[in-house]
Structure 1
Amino acid sequence: MTQTGSLPLRQVLAYGAPGLPLALMGIPLYVYLPPFYANELGLGLAAVGLALMLTRFWDVITDPLVGFLSDRIPGRHRRKVLMAAGIPLLVVSLWFLLRPGEGVGLWHLYLWGLIAFLGWTLIQIPYTSLGAEADPTPHGRTRLAASREGLALVGTVLAASMPVLLGSEAPADVLGAVFWLMAILLPLSFLIMGAGMPEPTRHRPVADWHHGWPLLKHNRHLRGLLGGYFLNNLANGIPAALFLMFVADRLGAENWLGTLLLLYFGAGIAALPAWTWAARRVGKRRAWGASILLAAGSFAFAPLLGPGDAAWFAVICVVSGLSLGADMALPASIQADIAGIDSDEGGGDRAGLFFGLLGLATKLALAVAVGLGFGVLSLAGFESGDADTTALALAYGALPVAFKLAAAWLVFSILTDTEPNLREKTP
């Protein structure tokens, strides 16, 4: 570590390596998997949405528990031990989840989805907790988060480009190809991180479970972050779940699917350095709030589009995609700052518990997004292929804007950059 407290670039990049394969599963799980089970396997929109939502509600228990365990496990490599345990669990469960046989039912989706999300939790929470501890400086934590989320965006773009690379838009083909890529790259990237990124020695006592929860309950900034993060991820999750149907049924542009995904995530990668710079100049919370408003403003035009408007939707994908880098990197960096301040003020070592709560907010938001999006369409009587797509347009575009505005209000009203010890100074 340098005298400024910042890790060398090689260690920052080594830390970010697992972010790429972990992100490969984002698009398959939230974009391709629901319509694949609902339409191609014939399980129905409402039933699939409910099953996926129920699998994520188990995270109410598993996320805080895994975060707490990653704080309590003795030894210097406690975070990496849990990650190593989660990798085979995730890979095996995804094999069954993404490559279902003929005649599978909702129990297959529910069971293997539940196991897959547990494996994901065992990897993701210790991974983000390690990023909060490895560098003691606010900007250093932003660098680590940017490395992790920047490589995650690369992985997401790679997953988004699968239809183009495979020459097939079939969900089954995309799901199978992405699985094999993830199964190879995830263990390899873990070895790179393990060899290149040392896990810091614990320097504070571990916070007691019973004393930790009351402090979390009264942490105003943590409540504001979790609330804004939940609403913002809910706003992102609804269009993700409905993306395939919106492009195919509303715009009539199935051949644009791969291009639109690449434009969206490519814009996120391109904008990530700018958001990192803005976070250092004006504060992480202001930068994140601005990105949320940018996405809300661009998405407000989505319900106005119809058949033949694929080019205009491409513009929306680019503009809303610019906010993606901020969404991925800045909340985790803010959480790392809050966890560090909590420890400095006597809260003890509980970064895992803090990031367990952040992971819980993410998963609950995505679970509710799938259930809410598909549920609204089911109540409206919409089925893929219907001529009247008004309900689809409103669910895809109007609902996310409302949740984005609510998230921005929480970020600007609670997570201000005026508190002296939560403000990142600019040089």
Structure 2
Amino acid sequence: MATLYTPSKFIAARPFPARSGGLNRWRLASFASLSVPIYAAQMPLGVHLPAFYAQHFGLSLGLIGAIFLGERLWGALADPLIGTLSDRTNSRFGRRRPWIVAGAVIFGLAALALFFPAASAVSPLYLAVALFAIYLGSAMIQIPYLAWSGEISGHYHERTRVVTFQTVAGASSLLAVLILPTVIDQLRPADAALKLAAMGAVIIGSLVITVPLALRAFAEPSAPATPTQRLPLGRTLALLFREPLLRRVLLSDFAVTVGQSTRGGLIVFFVTFYMGLPHWASGLFLFQFIFGVIAGPIWAEIGYRIGKARAAVAGELAQVAINLGLLFVVPGQLGPLLALTVAQGLAQGSGNLMLRSMVADVADEHRLRTGEDRSALFFSTFSLSSKAGMAVAVGIALPLVSWLGFDPTAASNTPEALRGLLWVFALGPAITHLISATLIHGFPLHEVRHSEIRRRLEERDAALSPAE
């Protein structure tokens, strides 16, 4: 049976503007700026804050770890709930704006408590409440914000452009908070309180500036003509696992996260012990990150030319090759390792960027098929795949290298133990990136099909809307 909407028909009757006539770049930059405070908080919360509270306030690492684990469990419940409630919200201010504003207030107050703590007030309960609040505020901003980012344009490639702006803004903020501690170490060595306060100032200052910019950048689209059915939360969450396209995207993102987290968790050990270049461990991580920021627009352009799914597959296969290349590096030789690190940075943004751009398309397909708009719920599931991916990476990679004989506290490790470290560091990410590419290969929701979906949605919404 012949298809009703062929590529030639699509070219002749393209329902959306070409990329050159798309969203205004300054408005896009303003909208994307809200990624800055959210991303800026991630690295300090995960790296600097636990050590600071342990060293300066005497909280045990076991207790801090338990609090962070509790946050992960809390997020697994709260994120889909926020997505569901945002989809159901109907106010004169829109569906997304009220959540972003309320979340910004909670996020900002919690950041003040965490990054500018009064020594007399700090206790395990203080840390737990402040940490849970900052993650709640972050989710209240980020999930509706991501859903809104998929709604400001229905154009297949414009959505990639929106996510690219957000990715570059967020990565740039992460780069800033990576550099800050290095600069402070040169001026005030070992002043952990100053480093924490400086990062807190970046987070809170950028929050105050970017929330108004983002909220004023675009008009929020009106809710769909067919309101979302108010199913019980349990049944709503069960929908996520019955959506085959969403399931493929999330499993692919899970595999990407496992690979990236395995590499991130072992890179210091690999550079320090296997390569014998301890003074380059932080520098190589920074190099990889800088080139990751540069890569965002490059992968966006690739996505414009060959489609999101093909770009994601290409990037994942490139990472497979890069990680396999690590098997051939020679200890003590910086040049080949530096080249592979730069290549890794240039390749690493492909999967994250394309997969997040694809979720809005999947939400459109779901709305056409079911009549239900669950964009925010769909975006909230990325927190589940990323958190699960990070947990699996840490839970497997570190015990595995230990089982293979590697000991970071030992004066020296055996050649077999170092070889085990190499195999886990190189092969682990290579395998997971290959799995990610396999999952997303042949993804059926391409540009032609998505354009037909958008055309039919607009026709249906126009028919259901009250006459002017």
Q: Same fold by TM-score, threshold 0.5 exceeded?
A: yes
After superposition, residues 369-380 of structure 1 pair within 5 angstroms as 369-376=393-400
For the pair shown, which has the larger CA radius of gyration, 1 or 2? 2
* 1:341–1:23 CA distance, 2 compared to 1 (3 A): same
Pick which of 76-85 and 47-56 moved more.
Answer: 47-56
Q: For 1:317-376, what per-residue CA distance to the aligned partner results, in whole angstroms no more than 9, with x for missing partners? A: 211111233233211110011112222333322111111112322222223334444444
The partner residue of 2:94 within 74, 77, 83 is 77
Consecutive unaligned residues of structure 1, counting only runs of 5 or more, are none
Determine the C-alpha separation between the residues in 2 that align with 1:115 and 1:380: 40
Q: Does 1:55 align with 2:79?
A: no
The answer on whether the counterparts of 2:104 and 2:211 sit within 8 Å (CA) in structure 1 is no
Deviation digits for residues 98-154 of structure 1 (CA, Å, limit 9, x no counterpart): 67769x898776654433322221111111011011111111211111111111121
Residues 156, 451 of structure 2: 8 Å contact kept: no
Structure 1 residue matching 2:22: 3-state secondary structure: coil
Q: Secondary structure at the match of 1:269?
A: helix
Question: Aligned pair 1:197/2:218, yes or no?
Answer: yes
Partner of 1:14: 30
Amino acid at match of 2:35: G
Give the Cα separation in 1 of the matches to 2:276 and 2:63. 26
Letter in 2 for 1:20: V
SS in 1 for 2:198: helix
User: Judging changes above 3 Å, is the alpha-carbon distance between structure 1 residues 214 and 323 closer, same or farther for their aligned structure 2 residues?
Assistant: same
CA distance in 2, matches of 1:346, 1:171: 56
2:199 maps to what in 1?
A: 178
Say if 1:53 and 1:368, in contact at 8 Å, map to a contact too.
Answer: no
How do 1:305-344 residues align onto structure 2 when only pairs under 5 Å count?
A: 308-344=332-368
Amino acid aligned to 2:228:
A
Shift in Å, 1:212:
4.6
The whole-number CA distance in structure 1 between the counterparts of 2:243 and 2:95 is: 26
Supply the distance in 2 between the matched residues of 1:113 and 1:381 (Cα, whole angstroms). Answer: 35
TM superposition shift of 1:272: 1.9
Asked if 1 retains the 8 angstrom alpha-carbon contact of 2:156 and 2:450, the reply is no
Alignment of 1:354-369 (within 5 A): 354-369=378-393
The one-letter amino acid paired with 1:360 is L
- Out of 290, 294, 303, which is 1:279 matched to? 303
Deviations along 1:192-221, whole A, 9 cap, x unmatched?
A: 111222212213333224375565433211
Cα drift, residue 381 of structure 1:
7.2
3-state SS, counterpart of residue 129 of structure 1:
helix
Residue 89 of structure 1, aligned match among 97, 106, 112: 106
Residues in 1 aligned to 2:39 and 2:249: alpha-carbon distance in whole angstroms: 22
Matched, 1:237 2:261: yes
> 1:227 maps to which residue?
251
- Tell me how far 1:256 sits from its aligned partner: 2.9
Whether contact under 8 Å (2:17, 2:155) holds in the other structure is no
How far does residue 23 in structure 1 lie from its aligned partner after superposition? 1.8
Alignment check: 8 A CA contact 1:275 1:287 kept: yes
Q: TM-score w.r.t. structure 1 length?
A: 0.84
Q: 2-side partners of 1:312 and 1:24: how far apart? A: 31
Measure, in 2, the Cα distance between the counterparts of 1:36 and 1:313: 32
**Matches of 2:355 and 2:210, distance apart in 1:** 24
Identical-residue share of aligned pairs (%): 26
Unaligned stretches of 5+ in structure 2? Answer: 1-15, 454-468
Q: Which moved more, 1:172-181 or 1:106-115?
A: 106-115
Quick one: higher RCO (CA 8 Å, sep 6+), 1 or 2? 1
Task: Specify the SS of the correspondent of 1:161.
Answer: helix
Equivalent residue, structure 2, for 1:143: 161
SS of residue in 2 equivalent to 1:323: helix
Q: Which residue of 2 aligns with 1:128?
A: 146
For 2:217, the aligned partner's letter is G
* Separation of aligned partners in 2, 1:383 and 1:24: 32
